[in-house]
Structure 1
Amino acid sequence: MTPVIATYSDGIHRAGVVALWRRTFDYGTPHNDPDYSLDMKLLADDGLLFVALEDGAVIGTTMAGFDGHRGWIYSVAVDPAFRRRGVGAALVRRAEQALAAAGCPKINLQIVSGNEQVVGFYEALGFSVEPRISMGKRLPWRERRVLAKGE
């Protein structure tokens, strides 16, 4: 199976992406709400959100980013019915192509603890485990409101 990989279009793909993310991600934190995450990504207006389509239906997504120094693959989601068919690999390759075209020299990603079974997937795509300590800091949560650019 070779899925169609397309750049996300809000008017066309939103419902399918939100439904897929609700099925595949179980983060349980407000800042990871699919609608909020999409709105925030769209503010970046960087064209680094891709969908995999089967007969027009969203069966997978990947969200990437580039800050001018490093590229990131933030998430890859594939509908469980379409896993192990090359969908995730096609999405990662599309993100890699877009990041390379933007001049990105290196791509990083993080794997959530408890999801280590995907390490082999990424290793097969050329990624390797690096000796790093990942740290984060949550900022105070405010009402879920997406700010307009420049606000």
Structure 2
Amino acid sequence: MVRIKPYAAEHFEGVKALWEHVFPNDPMWNRAEFSIPKKLEVQPDLFLVAEDSGQVLGTVMAGYDGHRGWLYSVAVRPDAQRKGIGSSLLAEAERRLAALGCGKINLQIRAGNEAVTAFYRHHGYDVEDRVSMGKRFGSE
């Protein structure tokens, strides 16, 4: 039975393997060994895993800055997709963000990822006319 629960240290290897498989070209700063310790310092209750019999099947990281919520690292093992796990992770992240007073959630998808775009559209998300910009600090 799949359970959605907050991340714990025993999930690390499963999350790391999942992210390496699902996000193979992610930069170093998005890798588990860098991003998980940073997330555990800020709103760790918004880092969730989907687990079945000790196996990590999916993840979602969320954040809320008092103005907007954000979703990151939404991932489900390919052999566990289309079973409602991603939808359950998304629903729980949305519930937790709403409980904090969040009125809008943002997320970013890499251009051309039509399957993921369709998943979010199915859950009420729309593509917005925005330009995403970023600036990195330090050696990350």
Provide the TM-score with structure 2 as the length reference: 0.93
Segments of structure 2 that go 5 or more residues without pairing to the other structure are none
2:106 pairs with one of 108, 115, 120? 108
Instruction: Please state whether the residue corresponding to 1:47 is helix, strand or coil.
Output: helix
Listed one character per residue, the Cα deviations across residues 113-138 of structure 1 (whole Å, up to 9, x for unaligned) are 23232111001111111111111122
Partner of 2:3: 4
For the residues of structure 2 that align with 1:27 and 1:48, how far apart are their CA atoms? 24
Segments of structure 1 that go 5 or more residues without pairing to the other structure are 143-151
Partner of 2:128: 130
Percent of paired sites with the same residue: 48
Letter of the aligned partner of 2:34 in structure 1?
Y
Which entry has the higher C-alpha Rg, 1 or 2?
1
1:84 pairs with one of 79, 82, 85? 82
Provide the TM-score with structure 1 as the length reference: 0.87
Instruction: Please state whether the residue corresponding to 2:111 is helix, strand or coil.
Output: coil
Partner of 2:96: 98
Partner of 2:32: 34
For the residues of structure 2 that align with 1:91 and 1:132, how far apart are their CA atoms? 26
Ranges of 4+ aligned residues in structure 1 off by more than 4 Å:
none
Aligned length: 140
RMSD: 1.4
For the residues of structure 1 that align with 2:31 and 2:117, how far apart are their CA atoms? 25
